């Protein structure tokens, strides 16, 4: 056997200076830390943004939200996503989903559903591609104008995730219409014109003009998703499955699993911001309760239409109870 | 009767979609006309630059990648890349590069380029929020995440080097504060603080499409020639991203020009501005190509002839039908191509104590190469200077510039370039604005300032900041006894005084290199220490 000799060359340092200052030099910094901390410039900004309408602001400026943090890098992502970790995880999940899609395609599970089942999908699920596109817009805002890479990088990944979800929901539509795209046009019509959908669309459009990026983050990723995901992908899906079998849930389960993962990040960010001080905590509470009222009202007619009045009431109570538990844990109830 | 075949169960098989159709179905219809909020409130930054867009759907998608395909494609690339980086680190791959001078070039890349990729990432993220059409927004976010990828993988690829060599362990601080990195930083911040259409013209077209080959070529081929497997594997991996970005650049320009005639003069002005800004920023690459790569790929002059004069010339000939002409002052770049790298390296040499890397004079062999590559300029203007400086070094009195250079208000280089028609005269230009005098290195930079003085008076010029006493670490007291402004300013910039800069032959990297590898730190000169074993 040949001994592999190590050269005996000792490195001069274990990691980048700014990371050793933050974490000490007992352990080499990991790749998440290397790719995240202190990446956003902090001083010597050269010019004033010509697009800024809120007064004197720097290119990167903590004053674009009323939330205040002593160190914005406290808002770390428990998933420790840097680009490679994120994209390799998603690739793996997509690989698994592809097998489900293949299964559905081979048997034409959605295309062979009765017309009224397909109509339910087109009315109740496919319009959410627009909701996801809205969430992409909001998270793009967080990624663009947020402060500190700890929050902006995962927001960028979240925006791309939402584009992926929007495309996945579109694909579900195409399964029902044999790839003609008619379902997408119909779903677009529902989103634009059907009375039950208007509350949700109105709130999404309101998010587009919500300039405080942290508020938009909370309203979208905590509040709106807490109503939309369980209502459509859990409760409506369950009812659909009882009548028509599991063909839809094979494709929507992916969204629920994804939301579960993302909630870990969203919760960590909000919990940390709330713990920072009473003013943050108050502000977050106000935002949560204001946007809850708005989104609960927005999804109620959808719940009634999809589940029937009695069931809708039960389901919304259940969703509200879950939200109460969640925000209590985050300290913003 | 239907002509469409049905399967056994009597079902119509789903229509086959091409990649393009699939992409468009899944993506293009995601947006909608808002009715609860005003469009101009949602997309509030689209009109103030004077650009007119009538039909966002006329956008041709350059990428056509849906996220499922993107994740799988990129995930596979990432898996391979990190496997190589891991192997590189385990095998002490940093010692396989040609010599320790190559490492000096990497310092400029790590300290500057990571920050630029990041700036580009944030800039495209803004576009992915601000554009109205789904097509351009998706294109912008695809590029935004790619740029984040590049910043990330560069940090990870270079992390190993900074553990063994000086001058790379403070890259965020250097990006924010080092005087010569203020040049590229101000370039990207200029674009980011502009409107969305100017940003995308600046970065996607002028930089990515017209000039990016000039960045990639010396960097990636330079890495390959010099045994830097870590950078090479990053580079190969980034190449397919870059191909997407270049496609975006040309699509953007065509889209803007086709939408409205009134866009043409605005776009031309931006092309003029960003071509010149990009060209000035790339001056550092000229010096790297000709002086810093121990094994050279090609000269700056050759690169400029191929990648700008030939390729760029063909591109602008093609754009003529839109009413677009060659960028203003392009003739001057042709005058300067035989001078720029030499003038810049001479400046770095003279200012070496304020630099973050070691510098050296070209060896006899290297000077002969330059005589061959620069037959009209090198022997006439630059060889005599280097030979004189070599004599001074041999006498133990190496030449250096004392004091602080005058910086150009626009590009932020010291005013080191010569008059377009006279390489013996330094070029200085001035403008007055609100009673203040501003200095420039060239007509191109003066024009840019004169067009937007209100923007450019806010440039943070490191030399001015030092003179104002504002470029020191917190707590530094200029009135204290023994206060050394140079020492304090360098410390503020993330440069270790007396360690990071200076003559390469005295540099700690050179000595350590010979100690660790037993090979000369400079393959063209004798060893700098006794650590290199004498052979033969």
pLDDT digits (tens, 9 = 90+) for A214-241: 999 999 999 999 999 999 999 999 999 9
CA angle B358, B361, B364 (to 5 degrees): 140
Cross-chain residue pair B190–A202, CB shorter than 8 Å: no
> Residue A122: pLDDT above 90?
yes
- Centre a 10 Å sphere on the Cβ of residue A217 and count the other Cβ atoms it contains: 26
What integer is the mean pLDDT of A191-213? 98
For residues B234 and B149, the answer to whether their CB atoms sit within 8 Å is no
Instruction: Tell me if A65 is assigned to some domain.
Output: no
Q: Quickly state the pLDDT bin for B240 (edges 50, 70, 90).
A: confident
Average pLDDT of span B375-400: 96
Q: How many CA atoms lie within 13 A of A7 on its CB side?
A: 14
Q: If you count them, how many residues does chain A have? A: 333
- Determine if residue B469 is left, alpha or beta; phi over 0 gives left, psi from -120 to 50 gives alpha, anything else beta: left
CA atoms of B514 and B193, how far apart (whole Å): 46
Average pLDDT over residues B493-513: 95
Is the pLDDT assigned to residue B14 strictly greater than 90? no
Asked if residue A265 belongs to a domain, the reply is yes
The pLDDT value recorded for residue A94 is: 96
Beta bridge partners of B317: none
B197: closest chain A residue by CA? A51
Give the pLDDT confidence score for residue A72 in this predicted structure.
Answer: 98
* Domains contained in chain A, number: 1
Instruction: Name which of A52, A56, A83, A106 to mutate to probe chain B: the one with the most chain B Cβ atoms within 10 A of its Cβ.
Output: A83
Alpha-carbon distance of A174 to B24, in angstroms, equals 12
Binary contact (A130, B129; C-beta < 8 A): no
Segment B316-339, tens digit of pLDDT: 999 999 999 999 999 999 999 999
Give the Cα separation of A96 and B228 in Å (integer): 37
Using 50, 70 and 90 to split pLDDT, how confident is the model at B535?
low
The pLDDT-based confidence of A290 (bands split at 50, 70, 90) is very high
- DSSP character at residue B407: B
**Least confident among A278-287, B22-31, B35-44, B372-381:** B22-31
Does the beta-carbon distance from A84 to B82 stay under 8 Å?
yes
What value does the mean pLDDT take over residues B347-375?
96
Q: B172 with A197: CB under 8 angstroms?
A: no
Q: Is the pLDDT of residue B4 over 60?
A: no
- Does the pLDDT of residue B102 top 70, yes or no? yes
List residues bridging with B419 in a β-sheet. B422
pLDDT more than 90, % of chain B? 77
Whether residues B68 and A98 touch (CB distance < 8 A) is answered with: yes
Contacts of B509 (CB under 8 A, 6+ apart): B100, B103, B104, B165, B166, B167, B358, B521
Express as a percent the part of chain B with pLDDT over 70: 97
- The helix/strand/coil state of B232 is helix
Residue A1 has a pLDDT of 43
Q: Would the pLDDT of B1 be above 60?
A: no
pLDDT at B109: 83
Encoding tokens for residue B131?
Answer: 């554009």
Residue in A with minimal Cα distance to B47: A51
Contact A188/B29, CB-based, under 8 Å? yes
The answer to whether residue A32 sits within a structural domain is: no
**Interchain pair B460, A45: CB under 8 A:** yes
Tens digits of per-residue pLDDT, A166-195? 999 999 999 999 999 999 999 999 999 999
- Among B42, B76, B95, whose Cβ lies nearest the Cβ of A208? B42
Cross-strand bridge partners of residue B236: none
Least confident of A206-220, B59-73, B155-169, B193-207: B59-73
Is B144's CB within 8 Å of A163's CB? no
**DSSP of B146-208, one letter per residue?**
HHHHHHHHHHHHHHHHHTTSSS-TTHHHHHHH-TTTHHHHHHHHHHHTS-HHHHHIIIIIIII
Query: Which of B2, B10, B32, B153 should we substitute to test contact with A (largest number of A Cβ atoms within 10 Å)?
Result: B32
Mean pLDDT of the region B464-493: 90
CA dist., res. B500 & res. A154, Å (int): 35
Question: Which run of H or of E encompasses B425?
Answer: strand B422-426
Q: What mean pLDDT do residues B257-280 have?
A: 97
- Name chain B contacts of A130, Cβ cutoff 8 Å: 30, 32
Across the A:B interface, residue pairs with CB atoms under 8 Å apart total 257
Average pLDDT of the residues in A276-298? 98
> Does a structural domain hold residue A62?
no
Could you give the 3-state DSSP secondary structure of residue B473?
coil
Mean pLDDT of A72-92: 98
Domains of chain B, earliest start first: 56-360+498-512 (1.10.620.20)
CATH of the domain at A238: 1.10.620.20
The answer to whether the CB atoms of A191 and B32 lie below 8 A apart is: yes
Rounded Cα distance, B151 and B139, in Å? 19
CA B125 to chain centre: 19
To the nearest whole Å, the CA of B421 is away from the closest chain A CA by 32
Picking from A1-15, A186-200, B337-351, which range would have the lowest pLDDT averaged per residue?
A1-15
Give the per-residue pLDDT at B244. Answer: 83
Contacts of B386 (CB under 8 A, 6+ apart): B361, B362, B367
What residues of chain A lie within 8 A of the CB of B137, using their CB?
140
**Is the per-residue pLDDT at A76 higher than 50?**
yes
* B11/A112 CB distance under 8 A: yes
Question: In 3D, which of B117, B411, B148, B122 has the Cα closest to residue A59?
Answer: B122
CB within 8 Å: A46 and B71: no
Among chain B residues, the shortest Cα distance to A170 is held by B26
**Residue A150: which region, alpha, beta or left (left: phi > 0; alpha: psi -120 to 50)?**
alpha
Mutation for B interface: A147, A167, A174, most B CBs within 10 A: A167
Q: Give me the pLDDT at residue B15, please.
A: 83
Nearest CA in chain A to B78: A84
Q: Give me chain A's average pLDDT, please.
A: 96
Interface mutation vs chain B, best among A28, A130, A140, most B CBs within 10 Å: A140
User: B425: pLDDT confidence band, cut at 50, 70 and 90?
Assistant: very high
The arithmetic mean of pLDDT across residues B137-155, rounded, is 95
Tell which wins on pLDDT, B71 or B234.
B71
Is 90 exceeded by the pLDDT of residue B161?
yes
User: In whole angstroms, what is the distance from residue B233 CA to residue B274 CA?
Assistant: 30
Q: What percent of chain A has pLDDT over 90?
A: 95
d(CA B356, CA B37): 52
Rounded Cα distance, B123 and B116, in Å: 10
Task: Write the DSSP string, A125-172.
Answer: TTTHHHHHHHHHHHHHHHHHH-SSHHHHHHHHHHHHHHHHHHHHHHHH
Q: Classify A88 as helix, strand or coil.
A: helix
- In this structure, is residue A49 part of a structural domain? no
Residue count of chain B: 536
Residue in chain B closest to A41 (alpha carbons) equals: B176
Calpha distance A254→A237 (Å, rounded): 12
- A10 contact partners, CB below 8 Å, separation of at least 6: none
For A200, the token pair is 């949700």
Residue pLDDT, tens place only, B19-53: 888 999 999 899 999 999 999 999 999 999 999 99
Residue B426's DSSP bridge partners are: B418
Residues of chain B contacting residue A31, judged by C-beta atoms under 8 Å apart:
156
Selecting from A49, A91, A188 the residue whose C-beta is nearest the C-beta of B193 gives A49
Contact criterion met (CB below 8 Å) for B372 and B362: no
CA distance B368 to B171: 35
Please, which pLDDT band fits residue A328 given cuts at 50, 70 and 90?
A: very high
Are the CB atoms for A209 and A216 separated by under 8 Å? no
C-alpha pair distances (Å), A186 with each of A128, B29, B361, B431: 12, 11, 71, 61
What pLDDT does B533 receive?
Answer: 65
- Asked whether residue A25 is domain-assigned, the answer is no
Q: What is the 3-state secondary structure (H, E, C) of B326-367?
A: CCCCHHHHHHHCCCHHHHHHHHHHHCHHHCCCCECCCCHHHH
Q: Above 60 in pLDDT, residue B10?
A: no
- The predicted complex's ipTM stands at 0.96
Asked if residue A16 is part of any domain, the answer here is no
Split at pLDDT 50, 70, 90, the class of B60 is: confident
The C-alpha of A90 sits at a distance from chain B's nearest C-alpha, in angstroms, of: 6
* pLDDT value for A4: 47
Supply the range of the domain harboring residue A251. 80-330
Of B134, B141, B166, the CB nearest to A159: B141
**Angle between helices A149-177 and A83-106 in degrees, nearest 10:** 10
Q: Mean per-residue pLDDT for B439-456?
A: 97
CA B67, B71, B73, B74 torsion: positive or negative? positive
Q: What is the mean pLDDT of chain B?
A: 92
Nearest alpha-carbon partner for A270 in A281, A262, A260, A278: A281
User: Which pairing describes strands B429-433 and B422-426: parallel, antiparallel, or unpaired?
Assistant: unpaired
Q: Which residue has tokens 């935004």?
A: B144
Asked which of A180-189, B54-63, B388-397, B442-451 is least confident by mean pLDDT, the reply is: B54-63
SS3 of residue B463 by DSSP: helix
- Please give the pLDDT value at position A164: 98
pLDDT-derived band at B234, boundaries 50, 70, 90: confident
Whole-angstrom CA distances from A4 to B58, B186, B229, B265, B387 are 61, 48, 21, 66, 47
């Amino acid at each position: 056997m040949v001994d592999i000799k190590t050269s005996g060359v000792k490195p001069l340092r274990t990691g980048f200076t700014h990371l050793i200052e933050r974490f000490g030099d007992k352990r080499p910094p990991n790749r998440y830390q290397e790719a995240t901390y202190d990446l956003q410039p902090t001083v010597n900004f050269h010019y004033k943004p010509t697009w800024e309408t809120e007064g004197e602001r720097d290119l990167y400026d903590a004053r674009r939200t009323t939330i205040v943090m002593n160190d914005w890098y406290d808002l770390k992502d428990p998933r420790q996503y840097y680009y490679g970790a994120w994209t390799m995880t998603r690739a793996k999940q997509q690989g698994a989903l592809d097998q489900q899609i293949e299964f559905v395609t081979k048997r034409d599970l959605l295309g062979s559903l009765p017309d009224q089942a397909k109509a339910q999908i087109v009315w109740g699920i496919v319009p959410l591609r627009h909701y996801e596109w809205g969430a992409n817009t909001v998270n793009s805002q967080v990624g663009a104008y947020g402060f500190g890479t700890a929050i902006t990088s995962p927001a960028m990944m979240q925006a791309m995730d939402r584009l992926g979800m929007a495309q996945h929901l579109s694909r579900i539509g195409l399964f029902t219409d044999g790839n003609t795209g008619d379902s997408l046009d119909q779903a677009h019509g529902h989103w634009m014109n059907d009375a039950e959908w208007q509350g949700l669309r109105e709130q999404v459009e309101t998010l587009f003009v919500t300039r405080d990026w942290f508020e938009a983050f909370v309203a979208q990723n905590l509040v709106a998703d807490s109503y939309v995901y369980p209502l459509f992908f859990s409760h409506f899906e369950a009812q659909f499955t009882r009548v028509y079998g599991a063909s839809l849930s094979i494709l929507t389960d992916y969204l629920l699993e994804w939301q579960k993962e993302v909630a870990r990040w969203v919760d960590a960010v909000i919990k940390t911001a709330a713990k920072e001080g009473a003013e943050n905590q108050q502000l977050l509470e106000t935002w949560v309760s204001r946007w809850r009222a708005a989104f609960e009202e927005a999804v109620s007619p959808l719940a009634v239409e999809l589940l029937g009045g009695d069931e809708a009431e039960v389901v919304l109570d259940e969703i509200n109870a879950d939200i109460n538990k969640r925000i209590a844990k985050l300290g913003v109830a | 009767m239907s002509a469409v075949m049905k399967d056994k169960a009597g079902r119509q098989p789903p229509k086959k979609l091409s990649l393009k159709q699939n992409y468009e179905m899944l993506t293009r219809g995601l947006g909608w006309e808002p009715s609860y909020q005003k469009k101009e409130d949602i997309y509030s930054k689209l009109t103030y630059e004077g650009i007119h867009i009538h039909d966002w759907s006329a956008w041709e998608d350059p990428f056509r990648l849906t996220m499922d395909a993107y994740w799988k494609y990129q995930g596979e690339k990432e898996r391979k890349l990190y496997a190589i980086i891991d192997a590189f680190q385990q095998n002490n791959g940093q010692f396989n590069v040609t010599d320790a001078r190559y490492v000096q070039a990497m310092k400029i890349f790590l300290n500057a380029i990571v920050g630029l990729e990041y700036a580009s990432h944030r800039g495209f993220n803004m576009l992915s929020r601000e554009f109205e059409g789904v097509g351009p927004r998706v294109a912008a976010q695809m590029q935004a995440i790619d740029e984040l990828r590049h910043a990330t993988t560069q940090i990870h690829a270079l992390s190993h080097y900074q553990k063994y060599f000086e001058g790379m362990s403070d890259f965020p601080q250097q990006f924010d504060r080092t005087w010569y990195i203020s040049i590229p930083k101000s370039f990207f911040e200029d674009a980011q603080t502009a409107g969305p259409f100017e940003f995308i013209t600046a970065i996607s077209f002028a930089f990515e499409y017209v000039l990016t080959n000039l960045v990639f070529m010396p960097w990636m081929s330079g890495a390959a020639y010099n045994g830097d497997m870590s950078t090479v594997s990053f580079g190969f991996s980034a190449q397919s991203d870059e191909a997407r970005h270049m496609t975006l650049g040309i699509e953007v320009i065509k889209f803007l020009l086709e939408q409205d005639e009134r866009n043409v003069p605005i776009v031309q002005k931006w092309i003029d501005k960003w071509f010149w800004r990009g060209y000035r920023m790339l001056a550092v690459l000229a010096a790297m190509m000709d002086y810093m790569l121990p094994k050279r790929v090609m000269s700056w002059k050759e690169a400029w002839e191929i990648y700008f004069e030939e390729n760029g010339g063909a591109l602008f000939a093609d754009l003529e039908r839109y009413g677009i002409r060659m960028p203003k002052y392009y003739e001057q770049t042709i005058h300067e191509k035989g001078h720029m790298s030499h003038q810049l390296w001479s400046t770095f040499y003279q200012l070496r104590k304020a630099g973050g890397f070691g510098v050296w004079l070209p060896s006899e062999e290297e000077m002969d190469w330059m005589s061959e590559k620069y037959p009209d300029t090198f022997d006439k203007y630059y060889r005599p200077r280097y030979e004189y400086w070599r004599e001074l070094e041999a006498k133990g009195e190496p030449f250096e510039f004392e004091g602080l250079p005058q910086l150009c208000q626009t590009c932020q280089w010291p005013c080191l370039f010569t008059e377009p028609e006279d390489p013996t005269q330094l070029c200085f230009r001035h403008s007055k604005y609100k009673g203040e005098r501003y200095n420039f290195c060239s007509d191109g930079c003066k024009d840019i300032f004169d067009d937007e003085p209100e923007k450019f008076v806010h440039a943070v010029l490191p030399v001015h900041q030092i003179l104002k006493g504002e470029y020191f670490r917190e707590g530094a007291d200029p009135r204290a006894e023994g206060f050394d402004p140079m020492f304090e300013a360098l410390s503020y910039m993330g440069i270790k005084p007396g360690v990071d800069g200076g003559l390469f032959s005295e540099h700690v990297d050179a000595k350590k290199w010979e100690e660790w590898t037993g090979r000369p730190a400079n393959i063209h000169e004798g060893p700098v220490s006794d650590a290199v074993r004498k052979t033969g």
